[in-house]
Structure 1
């Protein structure tokens, strides 16, 4: 079976679970990532004779497998990894984790079992084809681990990782083109685990020549492993403090690069420690403040770019507006035209801090001719992901589209002229809210409407996007009342029906369906052609970009919301399906397989279909074609009959429940037959026998006889359901063997993928409709009663109260 991304993630996190408890996440990540590395290079050496990593005898993952259950497993694992490190000059890179550490892994049998289980988890993974498909499954798994380790490590130790979503945005912003050659250089002076560098290099068709520097020894080791795991074995990653001891220099001058990306530590107070040679970084700008290193890093980056170099840097918002020395530096940078744009990001996005940050886009090419900065306030586009916030695919695409196309969107993005930034009111302050008002418009209560009635036209006009899509609907829902005010033309209970039954709404829905059908049909042949040479990234890119283009001219619907529906389904399901088809072909991927059951290794899969019962039951997993799809297409009548039988069981059970309820209690007819408030068929029979002896014509005998008869009906109905279910399950399993490739493609491409994506897009449109219904209803309720009407109602109620009090003799 092909290795699925979701299964890989699950296995890797099981590895972390084996270690959790004995050490902090920032420590156990080293063990999991080291084994991931050893397993990967071992598999790669088997499939690639030209692999740059030499796997020596005694230093492979296969050797680690032989240590399982060994009393000296920890020491033997250390020695095997040491051999691999020595053969590839990776000492102090892959051998930092001590697999014989009793304080972290336990003593004796505890260590033996823990490491045996850990090795077993990795043993099931197969990375031999992980990059052949052009989709970096292993790299994504590494990112998955980095993200989870960073989350669990907390604020103090989570700075080694830049969220992958932010990295992808930065790669798009710095101007890498299809023509960018591999010889172009990219540099990250604070590279952490290297993920940001790799995302940028991946944006170039043939990759880039990678350079990076990292201060922390353990994180530098992570970066070295990360480069190898991503097929960038020759990346130049050096160790040291970037400010005090930059490693990329020539004759006391900083080396320069074509591209630069960085996520330096925020506001470092000790940035100048050990600084002797400034390498001209501060010349012409001024020295950054001693207790804040943000501009020290930014000036280092400016100095490290070629005259046409481009870069993207993540920094706290303070660099945009803080005064004194930083204001002086900022003014010089702006005047030189080096800043091309600024993007404000959501808060709580990064692992080392919860404060919001921004991306500063640097472009030295034609800097002197720059007349403005392009600003984006993307602070509100995110989703919650555990303790952190996370950018969604729609947020990422909207940012890159707005910036690369220089699209001005009210409340989101605009080109800010330098003259506006330089004027006396702003004085080179780049705080984004000065230039973009992204606040939500206030929902103002209209006193005149409360007094005299009517809905303010101002509130109705605010729904202009809906009236553009449904021009006549406004006049079906509302009619003029007086100057500046309208009233409902329908009853409030009829608002929803008026909207959904309108010809314009029906036409809009129909056109949306036609658009989706046309888009999908245009890619049907491409999807049917999925094979071992398919590049999943290119496949989903073509699908999603075409979907965006299709919905862009549509009124009302947000094309990025539609895009999100496709991308979320791709990440949840479609990517794994495509990987299965690529590795096993359509027919192979669709074949049922027995579930994996291994009690010793704690492996158990939830089956999709079970034939038989008890120990003789056969449990099947259908990875590509779920049984429900087979049933819906080939056995709809049988399923309808099964549903009817199930309904009869429920009906019989309900009648029994009502009869028991009716005759329960101390005085009830079933009182003598009940045990602990319940009455079973067996109890009813025993009591019926005794009751007949006492009085064969009693009401109790009649009721008990009726109950037993109902139990018999229920039992027969349950048997019918079981028999029909068994027959349907057997027919469903047999049907898999009859499927042609065309049948499989119909089931997967149309019944599974298309149906799900269509359903999600329709749900998006339905959500828009619900918002219109809710808003019109809200406005109708808000101004439904005038002040005069309310006053009259108060007077009427007051009179009723006074009358009641008088009747009681109260004055």
Structure 2
């Protein structure tokens, strides 16, 4: 599929979403349209797999009749193989096209659709893919009044959605293409743009994801593992996967249940085999789900300055115990950094997006920052990003790059890319040329006037471990030289104009027989 065809597919899907959601909020309708797209993908993948199994039998999967005894043996065999190979199973009458066609004919399909979605989940019970499919469709509440006040109204709307999606060719035959995955992420991004503050819970702008992904994969062709402790919809993890030839295993954790489901769907839509990803749902700071594991690459865009318990018992947790202080309960930023560096492999790289406050705030955060620099010496690079590039917040942010065994042990690189953006309607955007500038400075690690500075650890120490970027990258623009003679000439002209005005007012007052406010006027 060409780039033009991909853009057409994206536009088609977004038009369906916009046309059919009615008065429903964009973030509410998101779960329905994305869930139905995922169901269509599973159906098309099931058809492709079954037809491959049936190769040479002179019959296609969609043609199998479950009431035909001769066909039953095929259906049973395909189901067993499908669960083992692709992780789930569908029968011919459960396929997306079958239900969409019935909906077109005016049949009531809601109950059968709900049972089909439940059947997909149940088909994985007791298998290796069970965790990846468990309760995957729980956010598709087909009885919700958001879809319509009556069952018939809801059925009519759902039938329209299925019919529109059924008319689109997803073209999943090209196993090297992420066409549908790209379209899916496009929709996630479009929904994010209309979701306000909620968007930050599930989506990192693509250019920022690309920046982090390129940083943690620099000089590598494959990764043993990649991990995101606040993975949202999983887009950042998938961006890392795209930057290398292969990733053996993808790990993620997400606290929000709906977003967790979105992440699992996103993995499967990008053709990540169920055995090659492990995404868990829990609070990462209080209940980490991948204890004991370390990762080649760690990336994250955690919720900025989130609350957390900061329970003193965490001082016994190996993630936090060495620092002697916990991040404040009102700002969990440093707690995420501590968690991530704890699970970073000795030769790995981590990149995390954070608010600027982590660079200079004092108290316990200052203590943690000093330990990271003075005792661990793991902070490698700090990149200042523009303001207003994230959904839901306009604050400027930074990227911290940390390595346990870093090459440049005597310094920290500072890059000020705060002016690298294109102003768009609702927010600023990093462009490819901006990423090139940042990555070029990151790779070359040299001083660039008003853009990058390699600061020695002595400089850092002399600044009391304050990492605020303006302390190291001077972006001050000197004013043009002032010509005092020109200033004097303008002031003289203004003075003469003022005297003329005073005289006119004085004469006018005399004619009226009142006192002038300018008795000295001549």
Alpha-carbon distance between aligned partners in 1 of 2:356 and 2:185, rounded to the nearest angstrom:
26
SS of 1:394's equivalent in the other structure is helix
Alpha-carbon distance between aligned partners in 2 of 1:274 and 1:27, rounded to the nearest angstrom:
38
Of the three residues 56, 66, 84, the one matched with 2:101 is 66
Matched with 1:220 is: 260
Alpha-carbon distance between aligned partners in 1 of 2:286 and 2:493, rounded to the nearest angstrom:
74
Does the 8 Å CA contact 1:339/1:362 hold for their aligned counterparts? yes
In the alignment, structure 1 residue 86 sits paired with structure 2 residue 122: yes
Does the 8 Å CA contact 1:331/1:428 hold for their aligned counterparts? yes
In the alignment, structure 1 residue 185 sits paired with structure 2 residue 225: yes
Matched with 1:6 is: 7
Matched with 2:31 is: 30
Trace 1:316-331 onto structure 2 (pairs within 5 A): 316-331=355-370
Matched with 2:70 is: none
In the alignment, structure 1 residue 255 sits paired with structure 2 residue 255: no
Matched with 1:112 is: 155
Q: Shift in Å at residue 16 of structure 1? A: 1.9
Q: Shift in Å at residue 274 of structure 1? A: 11
- RMSD (Å), alpha carbons: 3.2
1:207/1:13 Cα in 2 relative to 1: closer, same or farther (>3 Å)? Answer: same
Q: Shift in Å at residue 129 of structure 1? A: 4.1
In the alignment, structure 1 residue 172 sits paired with structure 2 residue 214: yes
1:106/1:244 Cα in 2 relative to 1: closer, same or farther (>3 Å)? Answer: same
Alpha-carbon distance between aligned partners in 2 of 1:34 and 1:330, rounded to the nearest angstrom:
42
Does the 8 Å CA contact 1:64/1:80 hold for their aligned counterparts? no
Alpha-carbon distance between aligned partners in 2 of 1:275 and 1:228, rounded to the nearest angstrom:
38
In the alignment, structure 1 residue 96 sits paired with structure 2 residue 135: no
Alpha-carbon distance between aligned partners in 1 of 2:247 and 2:142, rounded to the nearest angstrom:
35
Does the 8 Å CA contact 1:159/1:192 hold for their aligned counterparts? yes
Q: Shift in Å at residue 131 of structure 1? A: 4.6
Answer 1 or 2: which has greater helix percent: 1
In the alignment, structure 1 residue 350 sits paired with structure 2 residue 390: yes
In the alignment, structure 1 residue 290 sits paired with structure 2 residue 329: yes
SS of 1:92's equivalent in the other structure is coil
Q: Shift in Å at residue 94 of structure 1? A: 2.8
Trace 1:671-750 onto structure 2 (pairs within 5 A): none
Matched with 1:339 is: 379
Matched with 1:432 is: 469
Does the 8 Å CA contact 2:147/2:157 hold for their aligned counterparts? no
Matched with 1:158 is: 200
Of the three residues 122, 125, 130, the one matched with 2:165 is 122
Q: Shift in Å at residue 306 of structure 1? A: 1.7
Q: Shift in Å at residue 157 of structure 1? A: 5.0
Alpha-carbon distance between aligned partners in 1 of 2:252 and 2:242, rounded to the nearest angstrom:
15
Alpha-carbon distance between aligned partners in 1 of 2:252 and 2:26, rounded to the nearest angstrom:
25
Deviation readout 1:620-662 (Å, 9 max, x if unpaired): xxxxxxxxxxxxxxxxxxxxxxxxxxxxxxxxxxxxxxxxxxx
Of the three residues 177, 181, 187, the one matched with 1:145 is 187
Does the 8 Å CA contact 1:190/1:215 hold for their aligned counterparts? yes
Q: Shift in Å at residue 192 of structure 1? A: 0.9
1:12/1:278 Cα in 2 relative to 1: closer, same or farther (>3 Å)? Answer: farther
Alpha-carbon distance between aligned partners in 2 of 1:9 and 1:194, rounded to the nearest angstrom:
19
Larger Rg: 1 or 2? 1
Q: Shift in Å at residue 85 of structure 1? A: 2.7
Q: Shift in Å at residue 303 of structure 1? A: 0.7
Alpha-carbon distance between aligned partners in 2 of 1:263 and 1:175, rounded to the nearest angstrom:
17
Alpha-carbon distance between aligned partners in 2 of 1:278 and 1:25, rounded to the nearest angstrom:
43
Q: Shift in Å at residue 221 of structure 1? A: 0.6
| Count of matched residue pairs | 461
Deviation readout 1:254-310 (Å, 9 max, x if unpaired): 321111001111212234479769531112212322332111111011111122221
Instruction: Using structure 1 for the length normalisation, give the TM-score.
Output: 0.53
Does the 8 Å CA contact 2:334/2:358 hold for their aligned counterparts? yes
Does the 8 Å CA contact 1:156/1:352 hold for their aligned counterparts? yes
1:203/1:30 Cα in 2 relative to 1: closer, same or farther (>3 Å)? Answer: same
Trace 1:20-59 onto structure 2 (pairs within 5 A): 20-47=21-48, 49=52, 52-57=86-91, 58-59=93-94
Matched with 1:401 is: 440
Alpha-carbon distance between aligned partners in 1 of 2:313 and 2:182, rounded to the nearest angstrom:
37
Q: Shift in Å at residue 220 of structure 1? A: 0.8
1:375/1:279 Cα in 2 relative to 1: closer, same or farther (>3 Å)? Answer: same
Structure 1 unaligned residues grouped into runs of 5+: 452-785
Matched with 2:456 is: 417
In the alignment, structure 1 residue 308 sits paired with structure 2 residue 342: no
Of the three residues 278, 282, 291, the one matched with 1:236 is 278
Deviation readout 1:380-419 (Å, 9 max, x if unpaired): 1122344222211111121111112224321111111111
1:94/1:384 Cα in 2 relative to 1: closer, same or farther (>3 Å)? Answer: farther
Does the 8 Å CA contact 1:143/1:164 hold for their aligned counterparts? no
Q: Shift in Å at residue 117 of structure 1? A: 2.2
Deviation readout 1:126-157 (Å, 9 max, x if unpaired): 2224754x442222212211112222222145
Alpha-carbon distance between aligned partners in 2 of 1:414 and 1:390, rounded to the nearest angstrom:
24
Alpha-carbon distance between aligned partners in 1 of 2:380 and 2:160, rounded to the nearest angstrom:
52
Matched with 1:377 is: 416
Alpha-carbon distance between aligned partners in 1 of 2:365 and 2:314, rounded to the nearest angstrom:
21
Trace 1:530-679 onto structure 2 (pairs within 5 A): none
Alpha-carbon distance between aligned partners in 2 of 1:151 and 1:439, rounded to the nearest angstrom:
33
Q: Shift in Å at residue 84 of structure 1? A: 2.4
Does the 8 Å CA contact 2:16/2:161 hold for their aligned counterparts? yes
Q: Shift in Å at residue 239 of structure 1? A: 1.5
Does the 8 Å CA contact 2:325/2:367 hold for their aligned counterparts? no
Structure 2 unaligned residues grouped into runs of 5+: 53-81, 125-129, 512-521
Does the 8 Å CA contact 2:450/2:473 hold for their aligned counterparts? yes
Matched with 1:733 is: none
1:178/1:290 Cα in 2 relative to 1: closer, same or farther (>3 Å)? Answer: closer
Q: Shift in Å at residue 21 of structure 1? A: 4.1
